[in-house]
């Protein structure tokens, strides 16, 4: 159990939360929600003890599992050792034991201490530690051949999965996971969901993956109105309950205001007359009925709508014989196909299977969008009549030039657009008022993503190619993107690990595995049914 008592946190004039009192109970799984900037990560650091609250106290269990955000802190250690470090007492005992055994001569005191240390190792399941750690790593798609490698040799996504295994190791009494699904493919997310559903301690997780939250959490702790309110159920349950409560309060206030207006009218008409007792009574009634000031929600919802200048030809793209290798690794072994206007193709598969590579292959014949450092090994690619492409790459580095404002950067893509049109688009994506004058070099990851969507809204392409577009978006923005893609009448090629986005948007699946690409004409639900039938 984790207990939070009268905790407050503010930065200057901005209040994140005030006098929060909440208990996280054993056996329950909590989603910690709220928009970007609401204070989720700050509150999580308070729970772990990494950050002291400005006011209040936190009571936590002795053994916490925490997902570390510093990918480079363990670069000098073996992968398997990094996982075992998740159990602090066990790792300390093993290190001290190994240091004693390395001595040329052992004293009687060393012998006694070794006995104590062996007892700790036994109590903490140290004799099966490596095999237990290996099982966690395998579930998170870290193959056996990497277990003895140094962390510094791993890619960023692999490091995240190792740190996730570290948090899960050692049977912690509470798990605190900040964005555990980042950089995980669908198979790894499914494994993690199954693991957490069996976990018997207290779980608190921050995630922008709506499907993950709905699948795993039993309760939702929502940061809003400068406090934290706990709701029963997953994310969708919280949104429904929160909306109902807000609507009820607003309705009650509206009814009170109407009644107050009627009473004040009576008071104004008869205040100077002979009905003084009735006037006094109504004044007391007005005081009793005074409406409650509803705290302002800090949730901001963008409005995304993708339109087309004109439809593309019936055949959006046709390609054949696409091949791409990196050294001896053949990532795409020959792929051919055709995408028709209006299809929404989702590219699925584990990480590093070639999804981004295929998008780069298809764009390699476009002089404006091709990656200058990328070469296609083989293949013929033909984009259809009137094809206009909007591209959202996974790596945003260098896409937004520095030295100009947000408004200036966007306006250059359509100089004929009016100032009001530019401001309107920026406002839709939460760049309101002075935000439009923000220097481009000061943009956060989420702001950069939203500005790239502004460009697509302005240019109105008839084909959208989106490579991991949700990486820096909060839940409200992801839901808005989901709805926009469902409404969009053009063609979509989409790489994402967001299950709901794939399930609700996709009409066709390309599944990547070992250089081969399976082309399934149908949505995710039908694809999963076909795969289950084969198994």
The CA-atom distances, in angstroms, between 163 and each of 193, 226, 410, 411 are 16, 31, 38, 42
Percent of the chain with pLDDT over 90: 60
Strand, helix or coil for residue 289: helix
Protein fold of 2-238: Rossmann fold (3.40.50)
Total-model pTM: 0.78
Q: Is the predicted pLDDT of residue 292 greater than 60, yes or no?
A: no
Across the chain, mean pLDDT equals 89
> Worst-scoring range by mean pLDDT, 24-28, 154-158, 189-193, 356-360?
154-158
| Confidence label for 149 from pLDDT (cuts 50, 70 and 90) | very high
Q: Is the predicted pLDDT of residue 379 greater than 90, yes or no?
A: yes
Under a CB-based contact definition with an 8 Å cutoff, are residues 152 and 76 in contact?
Answer: yes
Pairing of strands 508-513, 344-348: parallel
Nearest to 96 by CA among 115, 71, 69: 115
The CA-atom distances, in angstroms, between 331 and each of 225, 381, 482, 493 are 49, 18, 29, 19
| Confidence label for 301 from pLDDT (cuts 50, 70 and 90) | confident
Q: How many angstroms separate the CA atoms of 493 and 462, rounded?
A: 12
The mean pLDDT of 375-382, rounded to a whole number, is: 94
Residue with tokens 């936190």: 58
Q: Is the predicted pLDDT of residue 259 greater than 80, yes or no?
A: no
Nearest to 423 by CA among 415, 414, 433, 413: 433
**If 0-12 CB within 10 Å is exposed, 13-18 middle and 19+ buried, where does residue 345 land?**
buried
Q: How many angstroms separate the CA atoms of 347 and 524, rounded?
A: 11
Residue with tokens 């201490």: 113
Q: How many angstroms separate the CA atoms of 128 and 122, rounded?
A: 9
Q: Is the predicted pLDDT of residue 73 greater than 60, yes or no?
A: yes
3 state SS for 108-141: HHHHHHHHHHHHHHHHCCHHHHHHHHHHHHHHCC
Under a CB-based contact definition with an 8 Å cutoff, are residues 160 and 70 in contact?
Answer: no
Strand, helix or coil for residue 211: helix
Question: Which residues make Cβ contacts (< 8 Å) with residue 296, sequence separation at least 6?
Answer: 225
Q: Do domains 2-238 and 315-534 have the same CATH topology?
A: yes
The mean pLDDT of 91-113, rounded to a whole number, is: 91
Q: Secondary structure of the chain: what % helix, strand, coil (to 5)? A: 40, 20, 35
Protein fold of 315-534: Rossmann fold (3.40.50)
Q: Is the predicted pLDDT of residue 203 greater than 90, yes or no?
A: yes
């Amino acid at each position: 159990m984790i207990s939070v008592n009268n905790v407050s946190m503010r930065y200057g004039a901005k209040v994140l939360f005030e006098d929060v009192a909440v208990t996280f109970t054993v056996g329950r799984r909590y989603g910690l929600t709220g928009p970007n900037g609401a204070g989720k990560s700050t509150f999580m650091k308070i729970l772990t003890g990494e950050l002291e609250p400005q006011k209040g106290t936190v009571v936590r269990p002795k053994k916490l599992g925490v997902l570390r955000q510093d990918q480079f802190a363990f670069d000098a250690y073996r992968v398997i050792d990094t996982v075992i470090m998740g159990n602090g007492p066990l790792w300390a005992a093993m290190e001290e034991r190994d240091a004693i055994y390395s001595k040329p001569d052992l004293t009687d005191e060393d012998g006694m201490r070794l006995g104590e240390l062996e007892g700790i190792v036994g109590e903490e399941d140290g004799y099966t530690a490596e095999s237990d750690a290996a099982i966690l790593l395998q579930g998170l798609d870290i193959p056996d051949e990497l277990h003895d490698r140094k962390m510094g040799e791993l890619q960023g996504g692999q490091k995240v999965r190792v740190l996730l295994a570290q948090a899960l190791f050692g049977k912690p009494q509470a798990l605190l996971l900040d964005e555990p699904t980042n950089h995980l493919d669908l198979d790894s997310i499914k494994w993690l969901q199954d693991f957490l559903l069996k976990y018997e301690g207290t779980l608190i997780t921050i995630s922008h993956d709506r499907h993950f939250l709905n699948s795993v959490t039993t309760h939702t702790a929502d940061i809003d109105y400068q406090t934290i309110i706990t709701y029963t159920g997953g994310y969708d349950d919280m949104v429904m309950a929160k909306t109902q409560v807000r609507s009820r309060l607003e309705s009650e206030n509206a009814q009170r205001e109407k009644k107050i207006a009627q009473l004040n009218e009576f008071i104004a008409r008869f205040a100077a007359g002979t009905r003084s007792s009735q006037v006094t009574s109504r004044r007391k009634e007005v005081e009793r009925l005074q409406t409650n000031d509803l705290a302002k929600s800090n949730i901001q919802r963008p409005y995304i709508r993708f339109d087309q200048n004109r439809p593309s030809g019936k055949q959006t793209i046709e390609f054949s014989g696409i091949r791409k290798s990196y050294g001896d690794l053949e990532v795409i072994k020959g792929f051919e196909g055709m995408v028709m206007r209006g299809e929404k193709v989702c590219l699925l598969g584990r990480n590093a299977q070639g999804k981004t590579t295929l998008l780069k292959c298809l764009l390699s014949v476009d002089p404006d969008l091709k990656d200058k450092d990328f070469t296609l090994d083989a293949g013929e690619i033909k984009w259809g009549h009137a094809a206009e492409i909007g591209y959202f790459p996974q790596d945003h580095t260098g896409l937004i030039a520095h030295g100009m404002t947000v408004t200036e950067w966007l306006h250059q893509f359509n100089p004929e657009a009016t100032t009001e049109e530019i401001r309107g688009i920026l406002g839709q994506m939460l760049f309101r008022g002075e935000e439009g004058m923000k220097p481009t070099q000061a943009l956060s990851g989420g702001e950069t993503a939203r500005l790239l969507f502004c460009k697509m809204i302005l240019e109105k392409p008839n084909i959208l190619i989106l490579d991991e577009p949700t990486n820096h978006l909060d839940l409200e923005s992801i839901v808005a993107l989901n709805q926009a893609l469902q409404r969009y009448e053009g063609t979509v090629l989409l790489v994402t690990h967001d299950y709901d986005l794939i399930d609700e948007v996709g009409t066709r699946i390309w599944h990547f595995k070992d250089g081969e690409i399976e082309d399934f004409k149908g949505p995710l639900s039908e694809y999963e049914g076909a795969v289950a039938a084969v198994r």
